Chains A and B, each alone.
Chain A
Amino acid sequence: MKITGIMVYYYFVCKRKLWYFSKDITMEHNSELVEIGKILDEYSYNRKKKSILVDDIINIDFIEDWKIIHEIKKSKSIEEASIWQVKYYIYMLNKLGVEIEKAIIDYPLIKEREVIDLKEKDIVEMEKVLDEIKNIINSKNIPKDMVRKSICNKCAYYELCYV
């Protein structure tokens, strides 16, 4: 099974969410927040070339000269996950022979941006993460531990997890 950018993102958000998602048990259609994210994605940076799909693995929001990739996010609440998601994009594209200089996470709503690059030690960490993702999505059983954080309250999977 191919590991997508969303899976890397979910790995840092919640392992259960990652497992459900990998089994096509999706809940995002229930979520107003996801709807807002989609609209934000649709209406931001309209002049740029948008939504580049590479090898069914990565779906980059937009790219400049094949050198700088951009990811649009609504808020900074789960920043670490977003950072690793774009690091994975750089990692994968480098592997495919595309030299990416850096990635930028854009937060149009709070008018901020953040520059991310992939360091040597990130590559080691990345490979460890990818192995763990493989273990989770190949497992028959769902990870048992609930995150039990405030983020659960806003998650589209909340009812499925806690009912």
Chain B
Amino acid sequence: MKETFYITKSGTLRRKDNNIVFENSDGTEVFLKSEKMDELYLFGEIDLNTRLLNFLSQMGITLNVFNYYGYYSGSYYPRESKVSGYLLVEQVKTQIDLPRRMKIAKEIVCSAARNIYRNLRYYNKREVDLSVAMSEIEYFISKIDEMENINSLMGIEGNIRKIYYDQWTKIIKQDVEFEKRVKRPPDNMVNTLISFLNSMMYTTVLSEIYKTQLNPTVSFLHEPGNKRFSLALDIAEIFKPLIVDRMIFSMLNKKQITKSHFIDKSRGLELTDVGLKILLGEYENRLKKVLKHKGLKREVSYRYLIRLECYKLMKSVIGEKRLRRF
């Protein structure tokens, strides 16, 4: 498995022989392991040239850029080499066939809801009573199959999420304000964490989609388009509770992240450099964590689990097998 590299400092990134070198603003050079690199994240202000971009393409490395405020700006990814016209046609055919689209959309909502339920169940035993919320969510999960269109399905999803977010102040042991999910700009610590980690999740899912023949713009739960790779949003939905939310709970409860890691700016609450580094380190650890996959009888990482979800989607698109619940 190849690795992800994160650069939070400012400086210059260039090709040197057959490797990538990062030169810090104070002149020190760091050699990055390009042979083992899969993705490169840039958070600082970095100079680079086309010679480097060509080299990244040659090595098949995706570059993800985040702006000064820590928001995702975009990616540079190597020329698409894994394309299948056949699969694209089948993906589109599945998308426009409402019963088939609904089947997949329901699987996504259901998988996400089950992961949400698991999070609540985990904290329910730990001195907080979340049983009311759990049974409410169970009720909504049981209704998923009855939904006949995307809008009503989205409604269920919204309900589940609302109930879920209402429990967060009970789960989080630090004193945090979190009444509801607020984006652009996030107004408090929890919202800042969700926004930042969700965009990390989005790029991770996108880079896993790129490793398959799926087209990232043709989505099933979300409407395709919206100027985003909406298939990445679909799949991220399943993994946010599993990776992002669990990470937020545990980091806040262990006080790995506190108020001191944020600065109040006119554009909302922002992460400090130290806070950013702590988050990236933990995020990477989570993605690398392995678990035993029962069906495959193999150890897989959480990152690879995302790819497997793409494979399942591919199979249901070519009509090979009904998508199984995650």
Contacts and interface: CB of A to CB of B under 8 A. Distances in A.
Interface of A: 23-26, 29-30, 141-142, 158-160, 162-163
Interface string B36-68: 000000000000000000000000100000000
Contacts of B82: 26, 29
Nearest to B85: A24
B311 A163 contact: yes
Interface of B: 60, 81-87, 211, 213, 295-296, 307-308, 311-312, 314-315, 318-320
B308 A25 contact: no
Given A142-B320, A160-B311, A160-B314, A24 B295 contact: no
22 contacts: A23-B84, A23-B87, A23-B318, A24-B84, A24-B85, A24-B86, A25-B87, A25-B213, A26-B82, A29-B60, A29-B81, A29-B211, A30-B211, A141-B319, A141-B320, A159-B311, A160-B311, A160-B314, A163-B296, A163-B308, A163-B311, A163-B315
A76 B178 CA distance: 62
A33 to B, nearest CB: 15
B308 to A, nearest CB: 5
A25 B84 contact: yes
B314 A23 contact: no
A23 B211 CA distance: 16
Contacts of A24: 83-87, 213
B303 to A, nearest CB: 13
Contact of B318 (A30, A142, A159): A142
Given A23-B86, A26-B213, A142-B320, 15 more contacts: A23-B84, A23-B87, A24-B84, A24-B85, A24-B87, A25-B84, A25-B213, A25-B314, A29-B82, A30-B211, A141-B319, A159-B311, A160-B315, A162-B295, A163-B312
